[in-house]
Amino acid sequence: MRLWIALILLLIGAGIVQAHGTEDHEDDDAEAPVIAEIDIPENLTYQEHVRALVEANCVGCHSDGQIAGYAPLTSTEEVALAAEDIKFHVIHRYMPPWPPSREGLPLQHDRSLSDKDIALIAGWVDDGAALGDPESYVPAATDRFHLPEIRADLTLQLDEPYTPAEDLLDDYRCFALPLNISEPMFITGYEFLPDIAEMAHHAIFYVVDADSGRAIQQREAADAEPGWPCYGGIGIGGRHDSFGGWVPGAMPLRFPAGTGFRIERGQQIVLQMHYNLSISRQPDQSQIILELESADSELAEIMILSMSAPVEIPCPTGVEGPQCERQAAIERVGDLYGQDARYTPDYLLRACGQRLAHYAENSGEAASGSCDMIARGSLTIFAALGHMHELGSSFSLELNPGADDPLLLLDIPRWDFHWQGTYQFAEAIRVRRGDVLRMTCSWDNSMSDEPRYVVWGEGTSDEMCFGSLMALRN
Ligand code: HEC
């Protein structure tokens, strides 16, 4: 797949997603939630008013053996015990996890609760969380998530289990998974099955060409364990595109009807795993399930377009010292990740047509980075993904900002490092030649444990403003 098209693309083999662990929301300095004024019945009971809601919206994750496993909400007793906690998470919209706001365009598989559902759950808890009569329970009619079922035409798995090294707390490891297809195919959908859920922080899938085989062998030979270390990117030169990834709670994905991501004979998938080892360290043999169609089918070829914007985050107010110098930050990423990392901050400014002065207003508490990309041809966009690390506070993607017909495509007002994903638009978006796509990220450096000037870098304590679009060229 080629990326010559359409947008001014800044291709940085970026780590896409990071997510892990539990988070203690109770410590958040949260704004008081607004519960909509909605007419709800009196004397709310669990069986009559809440159970079906919990079953449809929560149990998918909150049951044994599911990714979250936390606080199983499968039985009446479990729910009753957690009532106050449930109300707290629901009224703050922490649960179900769904960071995009309704200001952006409607999205598929929207997990957020309606105002009425929130009012019912909160009202039930306020009324004393009565259980009620099991006879009054009416099961929910449909599966709200409308998850696609992915046909397992090809299952890729680590050849042998990999156990992360003892001395690492975060392990970025890449594994080559040969496709072994005898003719070109289209991937039409995928699902990732983490082997050890509490250790899987994120996964990204790249496709690499046959001529990367030697480089992969060399990397694999460097130590005795399966795969190779690949902190940020995959550590292999040549062209490689990512067609997807996984974070906890991520859903199986099917590409839009009539489209597919093309793969060729001889290509391999490189799976980049980020293991977070704070909870467990066990042998891992995760799987990617692919649904395939023949390349002879009339499918249109999906492109993945990547975007990057400058990251220029000063120290928070009151923090001073050499670590607050931009140059020191650049030297630091250069030493850690190599020459490319050293050039990236200036490269991003130039590529976005900006100078450093553009970010003179950035402060440690409120810094932002933004890049406009101009479409060089017409496109149809199906899905978008944004990525930042832990200092991220908001993310947005706009079409033609400032024009007569601006469109806010994706709005994530409260960035949550733990919940990132690819969002599929309910209706595909048409982009005309000359249209402007603006990606904007913002950060709050006062959340940092070790505040310093932060620039673009692959590490968890560095930052990124990265986005990608799933699109068709028209
Ligand atoms: C997509 C998966 C998913 C869905 C759907 C979901 N949760 Fe959660 N929930 C989690 C995860 C994972 C955590 C752990 C904290 C975190 O990562 O944010 C969590 C944490 C919680 C907690 C905090 C206590 C704990 O177990 O850590 C409560 C309470 C909770 N969820 C309630 C709910 C309710 C109520 C719903 C439905 C209205 C819901 N959740 C839907 C995944 C989910």
CATH code, domain carrying 390: 2.60.120.230
Residue 2 lies in a domain: no
337, 406: one domain: yes
pLDDT digit string (tens) for 22-36?
Answer: 334 444 444 667 777
* Whether 107 and 185 share a structural domain: no
Q: Are residues 327 and 451 in the same domain?
A: yes
In a shared domain, residues 159 and 238: yes
Tokens of 233: 């990117």
Structure tokens at 290: 């692919």
Task: Using the mean position of ligand 1's atoms as its centre, give its distance from the Cα of residue 15 in Å.
Answer: 25
pTM: 0.84
Higher pLDDT: 293 or 58? It is 293
Which ligand 1 atom minimizes the distance to the CA of 96? 41
The pLDDT of residue 238 is above 80: no
Whether residue 93 sits in one domain with residue 169: no
Residue 425: band (very low, low, confident or very high) from pLDDT cuts 50, 70, 90: very high
The confidence score (pLDDT) of residue 61 equals 76
State what percent of residues in the chain have pLDDT above 70: 89
| Other beta carbons less than 10 A from residue 221's beta carbon | 9
For residues 182 and 79, membership in a common domain is answered with: no
Q: If you measure from the C-alpha of residue 81 to the centroid of ligand 1, how many angstroms do you get, rounded to a whole number? A: 15
pLDDT for 337 beyond 60:
yes
Return the pLDDT at 68.
Answer: 47
Distance 72 CA to ligand 1 centre (A): 9
* Overall average pLDDT of the 123-148 stretch: 86
- Distance from C-alpha of 457 to C-alpha of 447, rounded to nearest angstrom: 17
Domain boundary among 256, 276, 298: 298
For 116, the token pair is 């009425």
User: Distance, CA 62 to ligand 1 centroid (Å)?
Assistant: 7
Pair (272, 195) in one structural domain: yes
Tens of pLDDT along 143-192?
666 678 999 999 999 999 999 988 887 888 999 999 999 999 999 999 99
Atom 28 of ligand 1 has which residue's CA nearest to it?
86
CATH number of the domain enclosing 187: 2.60.120.310
Domain total for the chain?
3
Average pLDDT, the chain: 87
- Of 110, 136, 162, the last residue of a domain is 136
Q: What is the model's pLDDT at position 19?
A: 28
- Contacts made by residues 91-98, CB under 8 angstroms, sequence distance 24+: 91/33, 91/35, 91/118, 91/122, 92/25, 92/28, 92/30, 92/33, 93/33, 93/118, 94/25, 95/58, 96/57, 96/58, 96/61, 97/249, 97/416, 97/418, 97/419, 98/419
Instruction: Give mean pLDDT, residues 447-459.
Output: 90
Residue with tokens 């904007």: 440
What pLDDT, in 10s, does the model give residues 363-406? 999 999 999 999 999 999 999 989 888 899 999 999 999 999 99
31 Cβ contact partners less than 8 Å away, ≥ 6 residues apart: none
Region of poorest pLDDT, from 80-89, 194-203, 368-377: 194-203
Gap between the Cα atoms of 300 and 297, Å rounded: 9
Asked if residue 11 lies in contact with residue 229, where contact means CB atoms within 8 angstroms, the answer is no
* Domain interval for residue 44: 33-136
The span from the CA of 166 to the CA of 164, in Å, is 7
Query: Which ligand 1 atom minimizes the distance to the CA of 113?
Result: 38
Residue 149 forms part of a structural domain? no
Could you tell me the maximum CA-CA distance found in the chain, to the nearest angstrom? Answer: 69
Q: Residues 263-273: what's their mean pLDDT?
A: 94
Contact partners, residue 119, CB within 8 Å, separation at least 6: 35, 36, 38, 40
Q: How far apart are CA 235 and CA 242, in angstroms?
A: 14
Q: Which residues line ligand 1 (CB under 6 A)?
A: 22-23, 57-58, 60-62, 68, 70-71, 82, 85-86, 89-90, 95-97, 111, 113, 248-249, 418
